[in-house]
Structure 1
Amino acid sequence: MRHALLWLPARLAGEGGILLPWAPVILGCGIGLWFALPWEPVLPHYAVAGGVLPAMLAARLWAGDHWHPLAWAMALLATGFLAAGLRAHSVALPVLDFRYYGPVEGRIIGIDRSQSDAIRLTLDRVILQDVAQQRMPARVRVALHGDQALTPEPGQVIALTGHLSPPDGPVEPGSFDFRRMAFFDGLGAVGYTRTPAVLMDRAAPGDQWVNRLRAGIRDAVMARIGGEPGAFAAALLTGDRSGIGRETLDDLRASNLAHLLAISGLHMGLLVAFVFGVVRGGLALIPPLALRLPTKKAAAVVALGAGAFYLLLSGGNVATERAFIMVSVMLVAVLFDRRALSLRSVAMAALLLLLWQPETLMEPGFQMSFAATVALIAGFRALTGRFSPHRLPGWLQPAVALFASSFLAGLATAPVAAVHFNRIADYGLIANLLAVPVMSVLVMPAAVIAGVLAPVGLSQPALWVMEQGTRWILFVAGAVADAPGAVSAVPTPSPVVLPLIMLGGLILCLTAGRVRAFALPPVLAGLVLWSQADRPPLLVSGDGRLVGLLGPEGRALSADRGQGFAASSWLENDGDLATQEEAAARPGLSGPAAARVFVLDGWEGVALRGKAGFAQVADACAAGRLVIVAGRVEDAPPGCALIDEALLRRTGPLAIRPKGDGTLIARPTITQSRLWQRRTLPPDEITIAPGRDIELLEATGTAAFGQRAQGPTAPRAPVTGPDDQ
């Protein structure tokens, strides 16, 4: 028995150098554990995690060699847990905890576009009327609707009259948590304005100089390259997508070319590789320098500087930071005469990023970037081990390399993209084969040359070349997106599916020999669970204004407009390509907009909204219906199965299923009480029975919870919507 217990540690210890790539995986498990907890860890929890570190160090020093990998694994788990907690407490800033309408003043630090193509501003140095400083959000994001005379620029101080509210949480149990992302981004409120924003003060000299430089480059590029190609080129150079239209973005996503917009590994790698090659080649042409200087290391230093400037210019978003860390590790490896591109260098980059920003583990960008990189390194290593590419004709080698890299990266990122975005671009490989070479050979080199020549006014020829490349990329995106069957929708699987598939991929890429056979079971288990994805028959939005009933033709929605973010998210999670308007026209809900009637497993329900709907609450309760009200009800009739604002504030959006015994089970969305969402947790499940009030209980199950608050008997207008997120 003892020998059996020692087999795995001995096996791992014998692998030696291949253990380092597993370090960020184990560190990520500790981070994931911290994020998965339903309650906020407190000092004793961190003390236990901190105590693991010296204990594991002692085991590393005095235990047998066979146990060293296990000691390191436990230490990494504890480190990940501690790093996530430290990061969360270090970025904690005030979050608006009520709905606000009134004057908003702040300095512009970010400009982008909302889901509905409206200009959206991120403001800091925020001033809200009658809000104490300790409750003032550090940053707010406001979408500009209506007629706007202001031309926003970074550093400007503006004032507007706006609607603000706290960032919304998930739109259904287990879905994307915008509130958590906003917390780590320092975003304390989101909202919109329909009145013109007013310029209060121009940007001070030196204030927001990086963002102003980005804006200046964006404007200069768009002035020389017109239309969508110019906006696309500006986004490649500065990361500013505010000039790109919604239709272009949709085409890029449908063709799997949206990654070309994100300044990430591809862009940083192409730029750094081009600069490295030019500098090294240029120095080689000067014999006195080539004979006396380590040209390879000199080129690495210059390329590292170019990458740092590109990081600065791009605005320093997470994807670019991740890419810069990766290329920095690789270039530093060149300086120390190490292999530049290896699983070790990727592991070091992942470790640095996870320790610096642990929350990136939860983001699809991090998962897709490292999945693609690991797959490319492991895949090409396996391919070159089986046959030599030099056997191919010279003209064919780049084509084969391009096909292999696109295939491997696409295969590695497809599950991540499908889980997070519920889309598979069926012709994505073809689109990338047509577009990525142009990006590599024309667009990025031309961008570097234009940047070098711009100070002397000679950038126009390079920008012309860049324009031709961007026009081709957009043409490919449009043609592929318009092709029949360009996009397939997939439903959202259970939370364990992606970890299982990723585990199988990691075993395949990071191990050798017969151990790789263990990659197949978790992948198959994940795919089987995915094929059995079961969507909730009834969904209720967090304010009760939108209800979605799953039927034979897909989910039918109670309204064709409003709550667009929730509507689009529900349909995407169903694996449904329909728009909100199309889903609202489906059979399943009937009656006027104020009182939409539906049937779920023999239960008749009604979704009431507006003053006309609110007046029907008593009659609907008397008829024994499941009553969903977009507002707060005072003194509801006894025995009424009522879902109103008071209940939804405690639970968040609800996913409702029939239990089979004549009752319904509702799952709340609020399942965590964390720094970004301080709430008393409702029960995991709520039973809805005919003729009974819906009553929540405390976690102990001993006291009434969430009795309907007294207040106005009229619904309040929603403050935020999809445009604000």
Structure 2
Amino acid sequence: MGIVDIAASPSPGPVAGLPARALAVMRRRLEAERERWVLWLPVLLGSGIALYFELPVEPPQWVGVAIVGLGVLLAWSAMAGMPVRPLALAVIAFGAGFGVATWRTAQMAAPVLARAYGPAAVEGRVVEVTLLPGGRRLVLDDVVLRGLRREETPARVRVSLTRGGGERLATGDRITLVAALSPPPGPAAPGAFDFQRFAWFARIGAVGYAVGRPTIIQAGQPSGIIMWIDELRRRLSARLVAVLPGDAGALAAALVAGDQSGISKDTMQAMRDSGLAHLLSISGLHISFAALLVMGLVRYGLAAVPRLALRYPIKKWAALAGVLGALFYTMLAGAPVPAQRSFLMLAIVLLAVLTDRTALTMRLVCWAAVVILLLLPESLVGASFQLSFAAVVGLVAAWEAWRPWQVRREAGQAPTFPGRVGGYVAASLFTTLVASIATAGFSAYHFNRLSLVGILANLLAVPLTGIWVMPWGLAALLLLPFGGEALALVPMGWGIDAIMWVAREAASWPAAATMTPAMPGASLWLLTLGGLWLCLWRTSWRWWGLAPVALAMALGPLHRPPDILVSGDARLVGVRTADGGMLLSSGRIERFTGESWVRRAGVEQAGLWPVGTESADGRLRCDALGCIYRRDGRRIAIVSKVDALVDDCDAVDMILSLVPVRRRCPAVRQVVDRFDIWRNGAHAVWLQDDGDLRIESTRQARGERPWVPKPETRPRPAETGNDRRGSPGRREERPRRNQNLR
């Protein structure tokens, strides 16, 4: 049944036309790729998850079940003789993805702080301690906030210790501290990273900072395996940093325990610009070394006992030990998505050893993706999942294409030492090139930055990591219980210093990395579809995937950044200059938001607004009451004081007010004031070529979803009849706008 039955049906006649002939060609192509159909299972599953996260409203939970039910009906029709079995399976997989995402969102629901709280006393149990370059960051559960009912209190809060005092804290301690909390912040701009969605799935309902040192109410012990491993990771990181201070210890903690929080900003930027940041993410290289070390110790240890080696399958015992060792190391690293993927693939390979079967490489990736998507559907929309699977799918596809050529080349030739060395260098260069190409588009989409020297830097750093750094790191883990970790960490530090030298040298080269403006959401869809089409199929039609990839990259330069941006708290405003740069209203307020805007604009750094004068391009002119932004004959007033409205209400096309507008401006086409920003979050404004104004808020971009907070309904002053137009007598007494702004 299925495609075979369709393909076997009589061919369409001449009158059927081009569509029918194209459909027949598609059927024959699909039949030739029959063994690869299963690889599209996680793609269909992920498509259902992706559609769920793209919806502007939260769907009912029965929708996913209904889609799966439709697929079951189609499968029943296939049993009755209708050739729709492949379609039925596709619908079931799609519905399962949609349904599991809906269910997961409902399961992770927890109270979110409605408004700013404190500074006031916060009590809770420490469930996570993260080392930062300037202190520590805590995650507390079982939280008590005085003045809030239990149903209003967040399940978890995240607090940064800005004044020290966290050195003695351990997971499980119950503490109290004075902190200022606020709801998780929304995106810095429409389309930017959604921290509120991330916090929802972590059940974090408030974030903030401590204004004093924490006090331990009751020393506790980690409860449960997760908290125990978190505490073990914290202690491990502390001991690594104690032996290797500074960035060397922070990088050691990242490589061994997956803790990147202690790395300084400059070093992390150098790692990114040189294309070496992937070394800090616990993934295939690290998990494989952990498993191989455990397997080697167990197998060679058992082989030293002849009675065991001759009577029992010690190879399978070693494989089982390798799985358990890799599982422990994955959990020790915090189980990030790349580590989960690597562990699942490794576990399937070793399971094949246990069952005396051969594993199929691309199917490893397939089933690893299925498991992760079913357990953590929200990981699909994260950069970690996309980059990790893009790299491994590209590498496996390249290996599948390259392997037959290598076998033919090496047939009948005895390997020599120079040949082995040359082969290793060539393989390192080839894999680095493939991984860089496979992840380039996703890196540009998520981080607005591309490394141009990554191949050379990786050619030096990857072998150094695998041959020198990681073996010493695993040796340090074995010596840790005996207090002898310094014996391994010191030589490990030599290798880390060399890696940092490579990163800094490569990052210092001219044009080592280039900034890329924000890309539209369609680019991500096209990149994914084109890349999967190129990698999952094996016949010649796989090259059709280059078309959507090229289109995705072409859409980037065509996607114009907004002309004006205002933050969700109305404290920061940015405007676009004539040369594509950006000017910010402040260099100290909302620094994270400003950095996000600059990165998404594709520029290295922003300038500051002119004070009492105009910008170099003449677009922006400011005085004490606000600014006027001009472009193509249109004028937008950026009002910082209400007195500016006296003149601006009659002289501009749009008012963007950082204060409430308490008067009507009938001559103005659009008015966005502090109340609009408060209700709908950060705003972006585009001055269209056709003379129109396009305004988008983060609420409009995200829709009404569970993680998008619903603001309190507070009436606008104008809606209550409080229309303060100002009498002629009072107007003369108010400050007037600088005449040059008119």
TM range (shorter): 0.7 to 0.9
Aligned in 2, Cα 1:579/1:555: closer, same or farther, shift over 3 Å? closer
- From 105, 108, 113, the counterpart of 1:91: 108
More deviation in 635-644 or 24-33?
A: 635-644
Alpha-carbon distance in 1 for matches of 2:494, 2:672: 57
Aligned in 2, Cα 1:14/1:150: closer, same or farther, shift over 3 Å? closer
CA contact under 8 A between 2:71 and 2:89: conserved in structure 1? no
Gaps of 5+ in 1: 683-703, 714-725
Task: String of CA shifts for 1:651-705, please: whole Å, max 9, x gaps.
Answer: 32222122456542212221311111255999xxxxxxxxxxxxxxxxxxxxx99
Counterpart for residue 685 of structure 1 = none
Task: String of CA shifts for 1:616-635, please: whole Å, max 9, x gaps.
Answer: 44443354463333333444
CA contact under 8 A between 2:137 and 2:161: conserved in structure 1? yes
CA contact under 8 A between 2:68 and 2:91: conserved in structure 1? no
More deviation in 494-503 or 413-422?
A: 494-503
- Deviation, 1:544, is 2.4
- Deviation, 1:600, is 3.3
- From 76, 99, 122, the counterpart of 1:58: 76
- From 559, 563, 569, the counterpart of 1:533: 559
Q: Which amino acid aligns with 2:41?
A: A
Aligned in 2, Cα 1:311/1:626: closer, same or farther, shift over 3 Å? same
CA contact under 8 A between 1:117 and 1:245: conserved in structure 2? no
Aligned in 2, Cα 1:162/1:459: closer, same or farther, shift over 3 Å? closer
1:201 is aligned to 2:217: yes
1:342 is aligned to 2:357: no
More deviation in 580-589 or 399-408?
A: 580-589
Counterpart for residue 379 of structure 1 = 398
CA contact under 8 A between 1:568 and 1:580: conserved in structure 2? no
CA contact under 8 A between 1:13 and 1:68: conserved in structure 2? no
CA contact under 8 A between 1:95 and 1:137: conserved in structure 2? yes
Alpha-carbon distance in 2 for matches of 1:96, 1:255: 40
More deviation in 154-163 or 371-380?
A: 154-163
Counterpart for residue 448 of structure 1 = 474
- Deviation, 1:76, is 0.6
CA contact under 8 A between 1:505 and 1:519: conserved in structure 2? yes
Counterpart for residue 151 of structure 2 = 134
Matches within 5 A, 1:132-531: 132-145=149-162, 147-151=163-167, 152-193=169-210, 195-207=211-223, 208-284=227-303, 287-340=306-359, 342-388=361-407, 390=410, 393-531=419-557
CA contact under 8 A between 2:630 and 2:636: conserved in structure 1? yes
Alpha-carbon distance in 1 for matches of 2:685, 2:296: 59
Counterpart for residue 676 of structure 1 = 707
Q: Which amino acid aligns with 1:562?
A: I
Alpha-carbon distance in 2 for matches of 1:709, 1:339: 74
Q: Which amino acid aligns with 2:674?
A: E
- Deviation, 1:257, is 1.5
CA contact under 8 A between 1:106 and 1:157: conserved in structure 2? yes
Q: Which amino acid aligns with 2:365?
A: V
More deviation in 528-537 or 341-350?
A: 528-537
TM-score relative to the length of structure 2? 0.85
Counterpart for residue 578 of structure 1 = 605
Alpha-carbon distance in 1 for matches of 2:365, 2:688: 48
* Aligned length in residues: 684
Q: Which amino acid aligns with 2:100?
A: A
- Deviation, 1:183, is 0.8
Counterpart for residue 667 of structure 1 = 696
Task: String of CA shifts for 1:24-59, please: whole Å, max 9, x gaps.
Answer: 011111111111111110145345224224213314
Counterpart for residue 620 of structure 1 = 648
CA contact under 8 A between 1:257 and 1:432: conserved in structure 2? yes
Percent sequence identity over aligned pairs:
35
Counterpart for residue 50 of structure 2 = 32
- From 83, 100, 104, the counterpart of 2:117: 100
1:603 is aligned to 2:634: yes
Alpha-carbon distance in 2 for matches of 1:385, 1:37: 44
- Deviation, 1:357, is 0.6
Alpha-carbon distance in 2 for matches of 1:657, 1:374: 38
Query: For the pair shown, which has the larger CA radius of gyration, 1 or 2?
Result: 2
Aligned in 2, Cα 1:648/1:35: closer, same or farther, shift over 3 Å? same
CA contact under 8 A between 1:543 and 1:631: conserved in structure 2? no
- Deviation, 1:304, is 0.8
Alpha-carbon distance in 2 for matches of 1:602, 1:665: 16
More deviation in 575-584 or 354-363?
A: 575-584
CA contact under 8 A between 2:634 and 2:653: conserved in structure 1? yes
Aligned in 2, Cα 1:218/1:681: closer, same or farther, shift over 3 Å? closer
Q: Which amino acid aligns with 1:98?
A: R
Aligned in 2, Cα 1:424/1:657: closer, same or farther, shift over 3 Å? same
Counterpart for residue 653 of structure 1 = 682
Aligned in 2, Cα 1:450/1:628: closer, same or farther, shift over 3 Å? same
Task: String of CA shifts for 1:70-115, please: whole Å, max 9, x gaps.
Answer: 221111111111111111111111111222223222222223367x
CA contact under 8 A between 1:546 and 1:557: conserved in structure 2? yes
- Deviation, 1:190, is 1.6
More deviation in 590-599 or 299-308?
A: 590-599
Aligned in 2, Cα 1:663/1:350: closer, same or farther, shift over 3 Å? closer
Q: Which amino acid aligns with 2:183?
A: P
Alpha-carbon distance in 2 for matches of 1:707, 1:142: 39
Q: Which amino acid aligns with 2:680?
A: T
- Deviation, 1:361, is 0.6
CA contact under 8 A between 1:673 and 1:680: conserved in structure 2? no
Provide the secondary structure at the position in 2 that maps to 1:434.
Answer: helix
- From 653, 658, 672, the counterpart of 1:630: 658
Q: Which amino acid aligns with 2:219?
A: A
Alpha-carbon distance in 2 for matches of 1:43, 1:706: 39
1:110 is aligned to 2:128: yes
More deviation in 159-168 or 132-141?
A: 159-168
Identify the structure with bigger relative contact order (alpha carbons < 8 Å, sequence gap 6+): 1
Provide the secondary structure at the position in 1 that maps to 2:521.
Answer: coil
Q: Which amino acid aligns with 2:597?
A: W
- Deviation, 1:646, is 1.0
Provide the secondary structure at the position in 1 that maps to 2:699.
Answer: coil
Alpha-carbon distance in 1 for matches of 2:435, 2:25: 34
- Deviation, 1:60, is 4.4
Aligned in 2, Cα 1:135/1:63: closer, same or farther, shift over 3 Å? farther
- Deviation, 1:134, is 0.5
Matches within 5 A, 1:36-47: 36-43=54-61, 45-47=63-65
- Deviation, 1:327, is 2.2
Alpha-carbon distance in 2 for matches of 1:707, 1:255: 54
Q: Which amino acid aligns with 1:591?
A: C
Q: Which amino acid aligns with 1:519?
A: G
Q: Which amino acid aligns with 1:509?
A: C
Q: Which amino acid aligns with 2:184?
A: P
- Deviation, 1:551, is 1.5
